[in-house]
Structure 1
């Protein structure tokens, strides 16, 4: 007999999650999702005898009322809340039985803490999307119809677990508080390259406050503004927080401009901002319980002393402090450096990621070729414990299970691989030409700018018109020159997932087409789906609605197929992302109304105005092109550099 659950009251932001969520797709911008407080979630499943990752429910601030058709064991964990079965109060953190026809009611979170979890014996029987039942609401997939629950929804319970149901031992129950200490390791972007040592000391000495504008994508904090070790990010952007895009770790403290944000399980996989510290894996559960007004103190620990995330309160008791080695690793987040024709820096990103970074902080396709060679080699060898490989512009993030592949062992493997990589100029890769429609200065992007001015920052120098700001920063005579430059360019895709779901980070192959801008500071809270923007020397197509910081130039058609897994128009079956690494994007202009028709056409499974032809890209040929046009490229960059400096001086004079 199949047990069903009817939602009598959904609570707040109640959604299906599983653990570890949707893994294996970080390199194309699909976050893992999963429970934000994974420890409470896993302990609840273990108490019921379920596999620790079995699908259950997560609620924020207030839980649901659920009616069961058959007698079912449940366990409610997470933040404290009043829990009743048919009106009788029952405890959290221990299995209880809801009788046939009975109602489990989880009330408002009493605090401290923010999220509550409902686990059921046998888990929830939910169709998987890309290998997981986890809900990613921004992407509208996973869980129950890709959304939070509403009244009247019906869920199905899976096969009852065979393990014994036992209460969670009191000493294993996570300790909730309004004043959190969170263990971090330094890196990947520390002092003295990006931050001053004083900045890092201040970071550890500050009680940051959790901002109300926080969610599963990230926990925004308020605290002191860094002094910064750099005046700007060069080609990556005007603000010193800007860098050439690289992969992020969940739990990284991401400075988007001067604003620190702890990246959550629904956060972006790729971006162009610095991260001075990263929460160790075993402490990331705390991000799910940070409520507005709570304070956060970051405590440095040595990576090798960070407790295993695998231990469910046995080797690591959740209620105890992780502070085992005050002062951190003392290496500014750099694990090792390697000299040679192409220098390599190995940066720590938590206790489960290493960021392999090539060369100087410049935009050089030869560095991206080196990244590609290392990516291809590691992907072929796939040593046990290797979980994810995510390329950036001049870096490759390698995620491991440190219990299986310890970071010191990984560093040895990386050093061995480096010895055997081919020369960068030997790179010849498949490179499709992808021609897309672009609605220039689209009304949707204009609306996003207005929202930003009304709700975030009215006096930003890029407002009220991003295109005029781009013109000014690049020393162009008119906004028509911006138009001509964008439409003349071939943009090579160097990374995917810059702002989720296959969103490309791309740069013009011809440096004379590289318009350089800075990113919004602070970032926007809303960006329309498939907006096209420029940040630093890069262009991005936003795969979905969400936050963002690139300067708008227009809007295009979808780069993510919500009809997955069916093939639809230019999308291939089983791969809902349109673009691939090393694709070359070019644009043709359309009116806003025509774009809406093309978007509807693509959503219906037809072509949508997208034209794709196969081809190849040779780095050697590209380098010959650069050499043959060196004089005019240099002249263009000289004008651009003067305009860039003038804009920075204008900011400084205005106190921006």
Structure 2
């Protein structure tokens, strides 16, 4: 028996062969192209070798490279699978000439049967019935003569063809003339042989094939027949065995002549003899021989109870023994081929990321994909073969129907729905399918096609994904939950049903089935087949109709609700799209042209509407109710700051998005000079959890945190939007004005109750989405709910409100103290153990715990009392110990990606930043270390204790060295970087962070490591169902690798091939405090040295005229000069504030109607400025990068002479 076998293939067949090799105890060697790095066969194999770029001729058809890998790996044999080199006689000869067994037939057998004209000659000699046809054609003239003799219609075929390529059905002389050169060319390109022949076309044909296996010495077994008549473009779609409606005499005859033919050449290994059956005459005709394992071999294995791959391997190794008894089939087996293709678009191939894959466990599934796989455009689009077996054909059809219903593939289009239609149709049920059956098959689809995607359209549900705030997963979901909830109410959907959220402009959608929809939210002009449709009212849509949505004229976002929602998979319990994390919704992104959205067909006659008076008010001047806190005066702000904040209007900055709404308004004076250990700016605090709707001061700039915002951060928040008012932040558009109205918890709860009642009301008279808000300035006296004083043994406790749905608990002083973090952990465990109804999630910070609660179920006062009760019941933390794994992470020091991010920052954001161009040198200088090597030594020797997760996003750790003498303290970038590479490692304040994903950032770079988050792929280092790597109190320990090594490790880690070293352990607080006490003097000396160097660095900045803190600038709007409009011309204005991203024309250009003149960046979206008609560009009043306001003239256009 072989010890090692190489599989010269990819995809499902490579995985299939590996499975048998494992069963036989034979080591497997996989080969793969660049496009298949993360393919399943690479992971399953014992060894895997890269053989070239994605194109097949540079990889899977590269004979020289494959043989080189076979020798290098010590493979004794090669299994070619099917396709690629499986029927390549030259490859077979080269293998055997180099002492490598070819697992398949001989090269002469491939040549005999590979050319169709020689196969026909062998068939004649073996008395196998043939269709009337020609020999090899000399030219087009002979083809016309032969076709006239045979009689039209005929099939023009390549003698070397296969897989449906190189054949054409022609019905007359004209079609034959048109087809001859084309088919000859295709044959030459695909098979290096332009030879053609003609064959009579049977108009009502079935495709029947016999599975054979020969020992190469004259013994040939036949293992039943398969029906492969369900074909599209000569490609098989469904196969089954036994073939329906054949009698025993027919079955015996087919197997007998197949055996005769294959015995005539002493056939070796697996092969298939294919026949055409004329359903009108019941006659069989030889078609061709496939000298390889067939795609559909699995159905034969199912009914005969054999493993054909095992037979092939053992025959090639000399260990095969023929069955001692005649094999008899049992039951009926059906296979469908699941393709990555779009049946609605003429079956065009689809490629991309599979965001969700689920197969029926009751079926046999041969596949190479799983959730997270990427389907390449370079290869055959088949992604799976689904096989079911039952006692009878009817039962097998039922089983297949159930299996397809239990199959889910999301992210790209597949033919799954098409297959379901075929399996359910009468023709297949009766078993009367012919090879032309699918040509006229009418099938139904339940999908919406995206003809235009709008500016930013995504699937969102109402509540988003709750319960993951503590690991940095934002809820996402509708940023205006009111509008989507009303849409669901009008449609009688479940309240949390997902709909489409449209920002600034809606999409154009084609409905491929009947449905019912409703449009809510900001005022969006929409037409159904050209007819205006109302908002806030259900609309009945018929199959084929097109909904065209325009600009949103008031508000910022509109919602399109659909009856029963969208059939997209949940991610962490929600269908909400989080575009930054690339998960949820449809393919984890905003919609694109050509997307297909699965829905459920629904036909209705009646409609339901919301009365005009009950529609929420949309304006440009908003009032939003907030609660004061968690951070106020006099701790962080002055009283004047707070008064100013609530007395003034703020303007919405154009650079706003779902992560946060940026505000232009007065700057605070601040009550502190700086943030102490937390940072240089007075807005800095030790990381704590944020509330959705918190108004977060990032330096001097206030930002309303949205549903895609970060969960953990180090900035103060003087107010939080109350729950019932959160919908308004979704409608704030650039240039709008907003005033914050302080309300008490009592009023907030009343407003919440009214909001909840309106959303669930069956009596429409109870609906009121525009309730009066009463300002309560008395609430501004204190941003603290309560304080418990501390003593020598216990820290003080401060309870801060964060809106009416969050409560922030803080321990002790504003310092980094592990004792406080242990107490936070004890409190968190206590709250969990109490199982308090109404608590949504708990998020710890460095010295705080945020409790997110439902104020309808749990009153704030009741929660406060429980938390105060906890203080009397918490254990003595000095005796606490917590699980504390040591996680060893590779770190590429000062890698090229972090260097690139620093360079970009210097060029684009702040050229005079003292930490640039060398972050590590800056860390050295500010900490008083002797050299950059000393910084490196500290980072690699430290044990970084994970204090929090999600700073920033997706399991990113905020960690600090256990040994205070290894706590390198730095300032953060200010302003922040606009781009940080995924998994960059940085130091900011006294903390280390590994960035969970690309995005902005401020920590000083030291290098890059492996992934903190596994979006889809399975890796043993990630707990099942938990895509984040680290846990609270883990200790991160870095070890050095080169950048090249890291890149490979990142690839392997992502694919599950690399496992990290992780050691279990515990962290004992008492022992840790003893350590601190023992080393108190050296710790203090280190801190003193740090502080002295920190102050020296600040002095250098002052001497050099560098600012310590630069608040992010809000570009002033250039009003532009007065413009003159040409006679008969027009002005093109900006319809919203923003920054000029691109200018796509020049003065003097003739532009067509609808042409893009410029692109404005606003709300983190690129918005085109369109020419109203065909005109000449007269003047351009703007420059790239310029900030513009609503109504500002950008261009003047003159009529074309």
Change beyond 3 A, Cα 1:220–1:454: farther
* CA distance in 1 between partners of 2:786 and 2:1068 (Å): 31
Compared CA separation, residues 40 and 477, structure 1 to 2 (3 A) = same
Instruction: Return the alpha-carbon distance in structure 2 between the equivalents of residues 99 and 316 of structure 1.
Output: 31
Contact 1:44/1:168, CA 8 A, preserved across alignment: no
Tell me the residue number matched to 1:312: 758
Which of 464, 468, 475 is the aligned partner of 1:21? 464
Matched, 1:633 2:1083: yes
Instruction: Identify which range, 407-416 or 255-264, moves more after superposition.
Output: 255-264
Determine the structure 2 residue equivalent to 1:531. 984
Q: CA shift at 1:162, angstroms? A: 11
Query: Structure 1 residue 303 and structure 2 residue 749: aligned?
Result: no
Tell me by how many angstroms 1:165 deviates. 5.3
Q: Does 1:5 align with 2:448?
A: yes
Residues 75 and 118 in structure 1, CA contact (< 8 A), matched pair in contact too: yes
Deviation at 1:321, TM superposition (A): 4.2
Cα deviation per residue 1:553-599 (whole Å; 9 max; x = unaligned)? 211110101225xx314222211110001000011122222211111
1:587 aligns with 2:1038: yes
Query: Is the 8 Å Cα contact of residues 55 and 125 (structure 1) preserved in structure 2?
Result: no
Alignment check: 8 A CA contact 2:678 2:714 kept? yes
Report SS of the residue matched to 1:75. strand
Q: Which residue of 1 aligns with 2:317?
A: none
In structure 2, relative to structure 1, the CA distance for the partners of 1:296 and 1:552 (3 Å cut) is farther
CA apart distance, 1:217:
0.9
1:190-239 Cα shifts (integer Å, max 9, x gaps): 11111111111121123222222211111122223322111122221222
Matching of residues 535-614 of structure 1 within 5 Å: 535-564=988-1017, 567-607=1018-1058, 610-614=1060-1064
Residue 137 of structure 1: SS of its match in structure 2? coil
Q: Does 2:787 align with 1:337?
A: yes
Task: Classify 1:316/1:262 alpha carbon distance in 2 versus 1 (closer, same or farther; 3 Å).
Answer: farther
* Residue 480 of structure 2: aligned partner: 37
Structure 2: unaligned runs, 5 residues or longer: 1-443, 1109-1201
The equivalences for 1:370-449 within 5 A come to: 370-449=823-902
Structure 2 counterpart of 1:459, from 896, 912, 924: 912
Give the equivalent residue in structure 2 for 1:468. Answer: 921
Instruction: Name the counterpart of 1:93.
Output: 536
Q: 1:376 to 1:226 in 2, by over 3 A?
A: same
1:570/1:235 CA distance change after superposition, 3 Å: same
Distance 2:592 2:916 in 1: 39
User: SS at 1:526's partner residue?
Assistant: strand
C-alpha deviation, 1:109, in angstroms: 1.6
Give 1:491's match in structure 2, choosing from 919, 939, 944.
Answer: 944
Tell me if structure 2 keeps the 8 A contact 1:49–1:161: no
Whether 1:365 and 2:818 are equivalent positions in the alignment is yes
- Post-superposition shift, 1:335? 0.5
In the alignment, the residues of structure 2 paired with residue 592 and residue 408 of structure 1 have an alpha-carbon distance, to the nearest angstrom, of 54
Q: Contact (CA 8 Å) 1:2, 1:157: kept in 2 or not?
A: no
In structure 2, the partner of 1:622 is 1072
Once the two structures are TM-superposed, the CA of residue 334 in structure 1 deviates from its matched residue by 0.5
Per-residue Cα deviation, 1:267-322 (whole angstroms, up to 9, x for no partner): 11111111111111111111111122222222211122111153436778333443
C-alpha distance after superposition, 1:434-461 (max 9, x if no partner): 0101112222122222333343333333
Contact 2:540/2:605 (<8 A) preserved: no
Describe the SS at the equivalent of 2:1091.
helix
Q: What residue in structure 2 maps to residue 270 of structure 1?
A: 712
Q: By how many angstroms is 1:22 displaced?
A: 0.3
The answer to whether the Cα contact below 8 Å between 1:228 and 1:240 also exists between their aligned partners in 2 is: yes
* Contact kept? 1:534, 1:550, Cα under 8 Å: yes
Counterparts of 1:132-147 in structure 2, within 5 Å, are 132-147=574-589
Q: CA deviation at 1:158?
A: 4.2
Q: Quick one: distance in 2 between partners of 1:645 and 1:339?
A: 33
* Pair 1:513-2:956 in alignment: no
Q: Report the equivalent of 1:211.
A: 653
1:543–1:558 contact (8 Å) kept in structure 2: yes
CA distance in 2, matches of 1:95, 1:426: 62
Q: CA deviation at 1:521?
A: 2.7
Measured after TM superposition, the shift of residue 648 of structure 1 is: 4.0
Cα distance, 1:245 vs structure 2: 0.8
Residues 49, 162 of structure 1: 8 Å contact kept: no
Q: Secondary structure at the match of 2:449?
A: strand
1:118-137 map, 5 Å: 118-137=560-579
2:292 equivalent to 1:292? no
Asked if 2 retains the 8 angstrom alpha-carbon contact of 1:15 and 1:143, the reply is yes
CA shift for structure 1 position 388: 0.6
How many Å separate the matches in 1 of 2:915 and 2:782? 34
Task: Indicate how the Cα distance of structure 1 residues 122 and 115 shifts in structure 2: closer, same or farther if over 3 A, else same.
Answer: same
2:516 to 70, 73, 79: 73
Instruction: Output the CA distance in 2 between the equivalents of 1:205 and 1:527.
Output: 37
From 174, 180, 185, the counterpart of 2:627: 185
| Larger relative contact order (Cα-Cα within 8 Å, sequence gap ≥ 6) | 1
**2-structure distance, mates of 1:141, 1:161:** 31
CA distance in 2, matches of 1:238, 1:130: 37
Residues 106-117 of structure 1 aligned to structure 2 (within 5 Å): 106-110=549-553, 112-117=554-559
- Written as runs of structure 1 = structure 2, the 5 A alignment for 1:321-332 is 321-322=772-773, 324-327=774-777, 329-332=779-782
TM superposition shift of 1:389:
0.5
Q: Distance in 1 between matches of 2:689 and 2:1087?
A: 28
- How many angstroms does 1:367 deviate by? 0.4
Q: Distance in 2 between matches of 1:464 and 1:260?
A: 29
In the TM superposition, residue 328 of structure 1 has moved relative to its aligned partner by 5.3
Tell me if the contact between 1:11 and 1:64 (Cα under 8 Å) persists in the aligned partners. yes
Distance 2:963 2:603 in 1: 59
Find out whether 1:223 has 2:636 as its counterpart. Answer: no
Cross-structure match for 2:498: 55
1:633 Cα offset (Å): 0.2
Give the Cα separation in 1 of the matches to 2:464 and 2:706: 13
| Deviation string, structure 1 residues 132-162 (Cα, Å, up to 9, x no partner) | 0001111111111111111121112248699
Query: Is the 2:514–2:601 contact (alpha carbons within 8 Å) kept by the matching residues of 1?
Result: no
Preserved contact between residue 650 and residue 665 of structure 2 (Cα < 8 Å): yes
The residue aligned with 1:166 is 608
Output the CA distance in 2 between the equivalents of 1:347 and 1:253.
15
Question: 1:163: Cα distance to partner?
Answer: 14
Q: Go from structure 1 to structure 2 and tell me whether the alpha carbon gap of 1:469 and 1:179 turns closer, same or farther (over 3 Å shift).
A: farther
- Give SS of 1:5's match: strand
- State the secondary structure of the residue aligned to 2:730: helix
**Structure 1 residue 11 displacement after superposition:** 1.0
- Mapped partners of 2:757, 2:896: distance in 1: 51
- Contact 2:539–2:607 (CA under 8 A) maintained in structure 1: no
Number of corresponding residues: 651
Partner of 1:645: 1095
Cα distance in 2 between the residues matched to 1:163 and 1:504: 54
Q: Are the equivalent residues in 2 in contact too, given 1:334–1:346 (CA < 8 A)?
A: yes
* Matched position secondary structure for 1:40: helix
Go from structure 1 to structure 2 and tell me whether the alpha carbon gap of 1:445 and 1:164 turns closer, same or farther (over 3 Å shift).
Answer: farther
* CA gap 1:210/1:461 in 2 versus in 1, 3 angstroms: farther
